[in-house]
């Protein structure tokens, strides 16, 4: 594959779970370039997780194709794809089973057949990156929820995969926990160049940290673009039953006063209001003059 | 060490220590509440004083590990009845001392809904789950059956009696849990982060249900939540718990003006409209009287602001 | 693994609505007794047909009989292949490699296969026509302590959940490169720790949370519990139970008289 090729290529994929009344994915196409950071949003049942599981071959498409790093997922075993796509499940307790953090993080890279010294290096680096290195020889079940979440992500990171899929990393976390994990993901994307796909319900997190958003509804992609654009595509959000952040909703309701609706943060809305008031006063002064 | 039981509800002073007034007696009164888990190295609760008035909707927020869940367990009486550890101070609910009152009587006064939708559902069908509490108290089956439809309607699950519980969505399960909690007709309902495992649809369902309970105003509600914007809409009063203590206690309109507090405790952010209005206030564009943490009110304030043409 | 809580199918048939779970249990035990009393394939075949008729009359889905009939077929084939080695009576049917397959032997083998098949099917019909809640309640009325009954119900309640967790955990670990398909059984079993470990922890977490939730709703504060599920022995039940008693008595009598047997001196 050359540098300009997509890392993940989903082409007209359809899929239905066995015994399900409705298809989970209908004719979905998606392209992810290396180094992108994107969010999959939508309600439960919209197909986000189903789509993400196609990336590492946990699910194979019924129709259409999925290519990861140039390889068709039907031709490669999941355990081989795990080296390219690291998939971190939502509940860290579905993964953790080892006696120490070190062993836990070593599980993935060991399964990939990496040599022992490489595994040890990856483990150290991953634990350092998530800020759990001092606890490397501790018992994982003594960690709090936020720390277990970081441990789960470190376990996937240590596999050295180019792509990280993280499923609902902020569930049950307080503000500090959310900030902790999202700044980690942001940093890995920026500094290490990892491609990151985050599946999440937390729209504020998406607005604040993630540059590209894919909105799904009933097995289809209804919006796909820069977050600012996707979260103001009202028709798509309506179809997906997704609410944009409060500031975005407020901005939309102030549209008739000339406030642009695509604000993603409080600062942006404050600036927009300020700008509007100034331009109004400027034009009022011009009228008087 | 069990504190002496209070002689019973009487006219109490308000929670700010003013003189005796005509305010109704608090349904919850905690004084000097401390608690340490059996294997704990320090007190999780470090001296909580709290009064909750009848019919009030109290929001509880704060960082993880602050002691919010432990506080809920103490108010419900599960600490000390189901947990060992060292409990200090007192909790009086409806005039009953939780340490000295039996679990059956407590269950008829205070009910609790927990965070995980799965592990609090006991019945194989919705009706059986709702019946679980009353069956434990040997209430007559006819009476139990008669109460079920009304409660299912309150939580928006009318007609769900025969549905198998495993097939319900997260939001539906939590609403079943709320209905089940209300079956014993408690005057106090405690909810410990009921929406944290739910998707936005489920969160909306639970908040709508809780809002309806508030409107019907037959129950005093204590709700721990991280969904700060939704909590601001529905709570009469919010306390912030940090490090086992209450560090703030005020109605939303007062509480969310204290941006420093939220930066310090790091457990929660302000509702975005609150942050926005504070920023605009600093620039003199709005006044303190305009401040609100609620979305519709904020839109009204901002509309008025933008409509004005400065001379 | 059942998709729901059990293989129970809710139907408006008389078997479902008019019989107490204890009566149905007694019927199943009666069928077992009759199956053991006779060893003639025609009698056992008739009994199997009767069980199937009851099942169909209960409006159960026809395909739900498939696994039971399949296992019956399997036992019949085994029976026909093995029993002729032991029973060499009557006319020779087949002579293969020095082994005589006699008519009695083959028929006895058929009977034994039918016997097991019919007992399995009767158990299946019982489970498909009796909800686990009513079963538990019936057992409690017969003396099972209510806390044990609650333990049973709770176990049933959590089967789909734990199974779901197992599947999720397997996927999560597969995503980390765990391979459960290759290697010898021993090494695969060792690798299964990566699935069993989180499952156990999850199960313990759920159990702990559940115990607190039950305490919160006053479980165990009284010596007994009421129940919104109703069961009770009525006149129809008494009739059926009497019929069962008569059937067992008659079967024992016939056994004693040697009727309905293809091979005496054998069970």
Residues C94 and C212 in one domain: no
DSSP conformation class of B3: P
Which residue numbers in chain C have pLDDT < 50? 1
Contact B21, B13 (CB under 8 A): yes
Let me know if residue B6 belongs to a domain.
Answer: no
Are C25 and C53 part of one and the same domain?
Answer: yes
What are the φ/ψ torsions at residue B10 (nearest 5 degrees)? Answer: -150, 175
A99, closest residue in chain C (CA to CA): C197
Answer yes or no: do C210 and C177 share one domain. Answer: yes
Q: C122 and C243: one domain? A: yes
Residue given tokens 């199956």 in the structure block = C35
Do the Cβ atoms of A156 and C179 come within 8 Å? no
- pLDDT of A129: 87
Q: Name every chain B residue with its beta carbon within 8 A of the beta carbon of A254.
A: 299, 302-303, 306
List C-alpha distances in Å: A106 to A114, A127, A275, C169. 10, 10, 53, 17
User: Is C135 domain-assigned?
Assistant: no
Which residue among C172, C177, C201 sits closest to A111, beta carbon to beta carbon? C177
Mean pLDDT along residues B23-42? 91
The answer to whether position C9 is within a domain reads no
Asked if residue C45 and residue C21 are part of one domain, the reply reads yes
Partner-chain contact B127 C153, CB within 8 Å: no
Q: Smallest CA–CA separation between A69 and chain C, in Å?
A: 17
Contact between B199 and A201 using a beta-carbon 8 Å cutoff: yes
Could B165 and C157 be called an inter-chain contact, meaning their C-beta atoms sit closer than 8 Å?
Answer: yes
pLDDT-derived band at B3, boundaries 50, 70, 90: very low
Which one of C132, C211, C217 has the shortest CB-CB distance to B132?
Answer: C217
Touching check for A58 and chain C: CB below 8 Å?
yes
CB contact under 8 A, C175 and A58: yes
C210 and C172 in a single domain? The answer is yes
Residues of chain A contacting B298 with CB distance shorter than 8 Å: 250
Cα B214 from chain centroid (whole Å): 11
pLDDT digits (tens, 9 = 90+) for B146-176: 999 999 999 999 999 999 998 899 999 999 9
Interface check for A139 against chain C (CB to CB < 8 A): the answer is no
**Integer CA distances (angstroms), A158 to A41, A127, A182, C191, in order:** 26, 8, 18, 20
Q: What distance in Å separates residue A239's CA from the closest CA in chain C?
A: 29
Structure confidence by residue, pLDDT tens digits, B261-286: 888 877 789 999 999 999 999 999 99
In a domain, C153, yes or no: yes
Cβ contact, residue pair C176, A108, below 8 Å: yes
Residue C242 lies in a domain: yes
Is the backbone peptide bond immediately before C230 cis, with ω within 30 degrees of 0?
A: no
Q: Which structural domain, as residue segments, surrounds residue B39? A: 28-270
Which residues form the domain of C90?
14-130+234-257
Read off the DSSP letter of residue B67: S
Contacts of C156 in chain B (CB under 8 A): 124
Closest residue in C to A113 (Cα–Cα): C177
Order of strands across the sheet with B28-36? B45-52, B28-36, B86-93, B96-97
Q: Which residue of A has its CA nearest to C174?
A: A79
DSSP codes of every residue in B180-204:
HHHTT--SEEEEESTTTTS-HHHHH
- Residue B285, domain member (yes or no): no
CB atoms within 10 A of CB A63: 14
Residue B249 lies in a domain: yes
Q: How far is A215 from chain B (nearest CA, A)?
A: 14
Spatial contact of C16 and C89, defined as CB atoms under 8 Å apart: no
Q: Give the closest-approach CA distance of C128 to chain A in angstroms.
A: 21
Q: Are A14 and A62 in contact (CB under 8 A)?
A: yes
Evaluate whether residue B281 is within a structural domain. no
B104:C219 CB<8 A: no
Q: Which residue of A has its CA nearest to C173?
A: A95
Q: What is the DSSP string of C172-214?
A: HHHTTT---SSS-HHHHHHHTHHHHHHHHHHHHHHHHHHHHHH
What are the chain A neighbours of B307 within 8 Å (beta carbons)?
257
Q: Note whether residue C1 is domain-resident.
A: no
Question: What pLDDT is recorded for position B43?
Answer: 93
Of B125, B136, B180, the CB nearest to C219: B136
Task: Say yes or no: C176 contacts chain A, CB-CB below 8 A.
Answer: yes
- CB contact residues (below 8 A), chain A span 241-280, against chain C: none
Query: In this model, does residue B142 exceed pLDDT 90?
Result: yes
Contacts of C210 in chain B (CB under 8 A): 119-120, 122
Supply the DSSP symbol for C217.
T
Query: CA dist B211 to A28, B179, C236, Å?
Result: 38, 14, 50
- For residues B273-300, give the mean pLDDT: 95
Question: In chain B, how long is the greatest CA-to-CA distance?
Answer: 74
Bridge partners (DSSP) listed for residue B191: B113, B223
B132 in reach of chain C (CB within 8 A): yes
The predicted pLDDT at position C121 comes to 93
B111 touches chain C (CB under 8 A): yes
Calculate how close chain A gets to B37, using CA atoms only, in Å: 15
Q: Supply the pTM of this predicted model.
A: 0.88
Closest CA to B32 of B59, B6, B58, B3: B3
Residues present in chain C in total: 267
> What is the per-residue pLDDT for C109?
87
Q: What is the mean pLDDT of chain B?
A: 89
C221 within domain boundaries? no
Distance from CA of A193 to the nearest CA of B (A): 29
Whether B21 and chain A come into contact, CB under 8 Å, resolves to no
* Residues A122/A83, Cβ–Cβ less than 8 Å: no
Q: Yes or no: say if C108 and C39 are a contact pair by the CB < 8 Å rule.
A: yes
- What is the rounded CA–CA span in Å between residue B154 and residue B160? 12
Using a CB–CB cutoff of 8 Å, tell me whether A79 touches chain C: yes
Question: Within this chain, do residues C83 and C155 fall inside the same structural domain, yes or no?
Answer: no
Q: Are residues C152 and C45 in the same domain?
A: no
B298 part of a folded domain: no
| Same domain (yes/no): C121, C212 | no
Residues 6+ apart with CB under 8 A from C39: C108, C111, C112, C115, C260, C261, C262, C263, C266, C267
Helix (H, G, I), strand (E, B) or coil at B119: helix
Question: What is the CATH classification number for the domain harbouring B130?
Answer: 3.40.50.300
On whether residue B155 sits in a domain, the answer given is yes
- Residue A284 is nearest to which of B202, B267, B309, comparing CB atoms? B309
Residue C90 lies in a domain: yes
Phi, psi of B245 (to 5 degrees): -130, 160
Chain A contact for C164 (CB, 8 A cutoff): no
pLDDT number for residue B292 = 96
Contacts of C203 in chain A (CB under 8 A): none
C115 to each of C33, C56, C98, how far by Cα in Å? 11, 20, 29
Least confident of A50-54, A158-162, B69-73, B246-250: A158-162
Contact in structure between A66 and A73 (CB atoms under 8 Å): yes
Distance from CA of A157 to the nearest CA of B (A): 25
Q: Pick B119's closest partner by Cβ from C213, C222, C226.
A: C213
Q: Which residue of C has its CA nearest to A52?
A: C175
* B12 pLDDT above the threshold of 50: no
Q: Is residue B300 part of a domain?
A: no
**List of E strands, chain C:** 92-96, 99-102
By the CB < 8 Å criterion, does A93 face chain C? yes
| The pLDDT of residue B17 | 46
pLDDT of residue B21: 54
Can you read off the two tokens belonging to residue C149?
A: 């009954």
The complex's ipTM?
0.88
Q: Do C215 and B103 touch (CB under 8 A)?
A: yes
Residues C119 and C172 in one domain: no
Chains linked to B by 3 or more Cβ pairs within 8 Å:
A, C
Q: What is the pLDDT of residue A2?
A: 58
Contacts of B197 (CB under 8 A, 6+ apart): A171, A172, B115, B116, B117, B170
Q: How far is CA B236 from CA B180, B249, B270, in A?
A: 24, 11, 16
pLDDT band at B20 (very low <50, low <70, confident <90, very high): low
One domain, residues C174 and C69: no
Residue among B34, B27, B1 at smallest CA distance from B12: B27
Residue-level pLDDT, tens digit, chain A, 289 residues: 556 789 999 999 999 999 888 999 999 999 999 999 999 999 888 999 999 999 989 899 999 999 999 999 999 888 788 889 999 998 999 999 999 999 999 999 998 889 999 999 999 999 998 889 999 999 998 888 888 989 999 999 899 889 999 999 988 888 888 998 999 999 989 988 899 999 998 999 999 999 999 999 999 999 999 999 999 999 999 999 999 999 999 999 999 999 999 999 999 999 999 999 888 777 777 776 6
Please tell me which of the candidates B112, B131, B134 has its beta carbon nearest to residue C216. Answer: B112
Tell me, yes or no, whether C183 and C115 share the same domain.
no
Residue C222 belongs to some domain of the structure? no
Number of domains in chain B: 1
Instruction: Give all domains of chain A, ordered by start, each with its CATH number.
Output: 8-243 (3.40.50.300), 245-289 (no CATH)
Is residue B251 situated within a structural domain?
A: yes
* Chain C residues touching B140 at Cβ < 8 A: 226
Total number of domains constituting chain C: 2
Over the stretch A121-133, which tens digit does the pLDDT of each residue have?
999 999 998 889 9
């Amino acid at each position: 594959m050359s540098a300009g090729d997509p890392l993940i290529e989903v082409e007209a994929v359809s899929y239905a779970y066995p015994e399900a009344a409705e298809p989970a994915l209908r004719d979905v196409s998606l392209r992810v370039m290396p180094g992108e950071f994107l969010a999959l949003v939508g309600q439960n049942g919209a197909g986000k997780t189903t789509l993400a599981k196609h990336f590492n071959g946990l699910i194979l498409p019924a129709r259409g194709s999925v290519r990861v790093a140039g390889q068709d997922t039907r031709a490669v075993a999941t355990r081989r794809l795990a080296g390219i796509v690291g998939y971190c499940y939502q509940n860290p307790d579905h993964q953790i089973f080892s006696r120490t953090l070190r062993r836990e993080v070593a599980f993935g890279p060991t399964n990939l057949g990496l040599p022992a010294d490489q595994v040890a290096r990856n483990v150290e680096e991953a634990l350092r990156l998530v800020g759990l290195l001092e606890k490397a020889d501790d018992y994982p079940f003594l960690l709090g929820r936020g720390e277990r979440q970081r441990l789960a992500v470190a376990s996937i990171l240590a596999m050295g995969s180019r792509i990280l899929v993280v499923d609902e990393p902020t569930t049950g976390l307080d503000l500090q926990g959310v900030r902790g994990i999202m700044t980690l993901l942001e940093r890995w994307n920026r500094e290490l160049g990892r491609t990151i796909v985050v599946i999440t319900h937390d729209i504020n997190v998406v607005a604040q940290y993630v540059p590209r958003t894919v909105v799904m509804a009933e097995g289809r992609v209804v919006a796909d673009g820069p977050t600012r654009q996707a979260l103001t595509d009202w028709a798509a959000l309506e179809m997906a039953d997704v609410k944009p952040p409060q500031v975005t909703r407020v901005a939309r309701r102030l549209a008739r006063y000339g406030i642009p609706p695509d604000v993603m943060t409080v600062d942006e809305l404050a600036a927009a209001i300020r700008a509007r008031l100034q331009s109004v006063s400027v034009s009022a002064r011009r009228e008087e003059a | 060490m069990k504190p002496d039981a209070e002689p019973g509800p009487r006219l109490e002073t308000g929670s700010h220590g003013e003189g005796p007034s005509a305010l109704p007696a608090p349904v919850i009164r905690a004084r000097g509440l401390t608690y340490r888990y059996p294997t704990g190295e320090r007190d999780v609760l470090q001296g909580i004083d709290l009064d909750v008035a009848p019919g009030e909707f109290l929001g509880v927020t704060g960082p993880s590990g602050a002691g919010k869940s432990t506080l809920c367990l103490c108010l419900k009486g599960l600490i000390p009845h189901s947990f060992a550890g060292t409990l200090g101070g007192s909790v009086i609910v409806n005039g009953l001392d939780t340490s000295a009152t039996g679990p059956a009587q407590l269950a008829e006064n205070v009910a609790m809904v927990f965070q995980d939708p799965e592990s609090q559902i006991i019945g194989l069908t919705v009706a059986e789950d709702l019946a679980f509490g009353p069956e434990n108290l040997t209430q007559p089956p006819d009476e139990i059956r008669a109460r079920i439809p009304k409660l299912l309607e309150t939580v928006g699950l009318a007609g769900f009696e025969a549905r198998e519980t495993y097939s319900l969505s997260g939001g539906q399960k939590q609403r079943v849990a709320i209905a089940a909690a209300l079956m014993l007709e408690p005057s106090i309902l405690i909810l410990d982060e009921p929406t944290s495992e739910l998707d936005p649809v489920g969160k909306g369902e639970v908040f709508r249900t809780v809002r309806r309970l508030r409107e019907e105003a037959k129950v005093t509600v204590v709700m721990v939540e991280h969904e700060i914007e939704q909590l601001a809409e529905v709570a009469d009063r919010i306390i912030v718990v940090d490090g086992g203590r209450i560090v703030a206690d005020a109605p939303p309109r007062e509480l969310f003006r204290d941006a420093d507090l939220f930066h310090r405790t790091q457990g929660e952010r302000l509702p975005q409209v609150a942050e926005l209005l504070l920023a605009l206030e600093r620039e003199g564009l709005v006044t303190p009287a305009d401040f609100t943490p609620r979305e519709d009110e904020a839109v009204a304030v901002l509309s008025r602001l933008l409509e004005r043409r400065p001379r | 693994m059942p998709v729901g809580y059990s293989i129970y199918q809710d139907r408006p048939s008389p078997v479902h609505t008019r019989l107490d779970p204890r009566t149905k249990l007694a019927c199943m035990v009666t069928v077992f007794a009759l199956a053991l009393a006779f060893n003639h394939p025609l009698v056992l075949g008739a009994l199997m047909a009767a069980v199937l008729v009851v099942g169909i009359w209960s409006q159960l889905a026809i395909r739900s009989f498939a696994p039971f009939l399949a296992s019956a077929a399997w036992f019949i084939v085994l029976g026909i292949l093995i029993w002729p080695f032991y029973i060499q009576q009557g006319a020779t049917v087949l002579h293969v490699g020095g082994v005589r397959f006699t008519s009695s032997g083959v028929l006895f083998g058929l009977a034994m296969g039918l016997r097991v098949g019919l007992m399995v099917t009767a158990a299946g019909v019982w489970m498909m026509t009796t909800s686990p809640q009513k079963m538990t309640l019936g057992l409690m009325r017969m003396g099972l302590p209510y806390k044990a009954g609650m333990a049973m119900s709770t176990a049933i309640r959590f089967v789909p959940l734990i199974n779901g967790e197992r599947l999720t955990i397997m996927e999560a670990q597969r995503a980390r490169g765990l391979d459960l398909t290759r290697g010898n059984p021993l090494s695969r079993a060792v690798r299964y720790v990566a699935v069993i470990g989180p499952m156990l922890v999850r199960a313990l977490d759920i159990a702990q949370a559940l115990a607190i939730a039950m305490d919160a709703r006053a479980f165990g504060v009284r010596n007994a519990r009421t129940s919104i599920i109703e069961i009770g022995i009525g006149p129809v039940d008494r009739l059926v139970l009497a019929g069962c008693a008569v059937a067992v008595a008659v079967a024992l009598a016939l056994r004693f008289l040697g009727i309905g047997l293809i091979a005496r001196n054998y069970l």
